[in-house]
Structure 1
Amino acid sequence: MPRTPSLRRTDRARPAVAAVGVLAVLGTAGCVGDAAADSPGGSLAASDPLPSAVPDGTTLVVGDPTTEVALELAGDEIEHDLPFDIEWANLSGGPQTIEAFRAESLDVGAVAEIPPIHATWTGVPVSIVATQYRENWQEAPIYELAGRPGVTLGSLADLAGKRIAFSPGQAQGALILKSLAAAGLTQDDVELVELPSTGDVYSTALAAGEVDVAPLGGTQLYRYLTTYEADGAQSIKHGLRDDAGHLYAPKAVLEDPAKAAALAEYVEVWAKAKVWVADHPEEWKQGYYVEHEGLTESDAQYLTDHAAVPDIPADLTEGIARTQDTIDLLAKELDEDPLDAHDLFDERFAAAQTAGVEAQRAAEEDR
Structure 2
Amino acid sequence: MPTHIRAALGAALVAPLLLAGCADNTSSTTTVDAKQVSAKIPEKVDPDTTITVGAPDTQVALKLSGQLDKLPFKVKWANISGGPQCSEAFRAHSLDVCSAAEIPSIHAHWTGLDTKLVAAKFRKDPLKHPTYEIGIAPGADIDTLKDLRGKKIAYSPGQAQGALVLRILAKAGLTKDDVELVELPSTGDVYPSALGNGQVDAAPLGGVNIKRYPAKYGKDGAKTIQHGLRDDPGHLWVPTESVEDPQKAAAIKEFVKYWARAAEWADKHPDEWIAGWYVKDQGLTRADGEYLVKGVGHPDIPADWTSAVARQQKTVDLLAKETGKKTFDAEVLFDLRYESVAADALKSGAGEGT
Equivalence for 1:14: none
2:153 counterpart SS class:
strand
Q: Distance in 2 between matches of 1:80 and 1:265?
A: 13
The alpha carbon displacement at 1:136 in A equals 2.3
1:254 maps to 2:243 = yes
| Cα distance, 1:80 vs structure 2 | 6.5
Aligned counterparts, 1:136-147, within 5 A: 136-147=125-136
Q: State the match for 1:309 in structure 2.
A: 298
Shift of 1:362: 9.8
**How do 1:39-188 residues align onto structure 2 when only pairs under 5 Å count?**
46-75=37-66, 78=67, 81-188=70-177
Structure 1 residue ranges (4+ consecutive) displaced by more than 6 angstroms after TM superposition = none
Residue 301 of structure 1: how far off its partner (Å): 2.0
Whole-Å separation in 2 of the counterparts to 1:226 and 1:297: 17
CA RMSD of aligned residues (A): 1.8
Q: SS of the residue aligned with 1:192?
A: strand
2:346 corresponds to which of 350, 354, 357: 357
Partner of 1:337: 326
Matched residues in 1 for 2:79 and 2:196: separation?
A: 30
CA distance in 2, matches of 1:79, 1:360: 16
After TM superposition, give the deviation of residue 243 of structure 1 in Å.
Answer: 0.4
Match of 1:17 in 2: none
Contact conserved, 1:272 with 1:359, CA < 8 A, in 2?
A: no
Asked whether 1:211 is paired with 2:200, we answer: yes
Cα deviation digits, residues 236-278 of structure 1 (max 9, x gap): 1111111000001111111100000111000000000111111
Alpha-carbon distance in 2 for matches of 1:123, 1:151: 39
Q: In 2 relative to 1, CA 172–90 (structure 1 residues): closer, same or farther, beyond 3 Å?
A: same
Supply the distance in 2 between the matched residues of 1:268 and 1:297 (Cα, whole angstroms): 29
Separation (CA, whole Å) in 2 of partners of 1:92 and 1:193: 23
- 8 Å contact 1:275–1:360 — kept in the other structure? no
Shift of 1:335: 1.2
Number of equivalent positions: 320
The structure with the larger Rg is 1
Note the residue ranges of structure 1 that are not aligned, 5 or more in a row.
Answer: 1-44
After superposition, give the CA deviation of every residue in 1:66-94 in whole Å (9 maximum; x if it has no partner): 0100011111xx48733210111111000
Aligned-partner Cα distance in 2 for 1:165–1:360: 43
- Gaps of at least 5 residues in structure 2 are 1-35
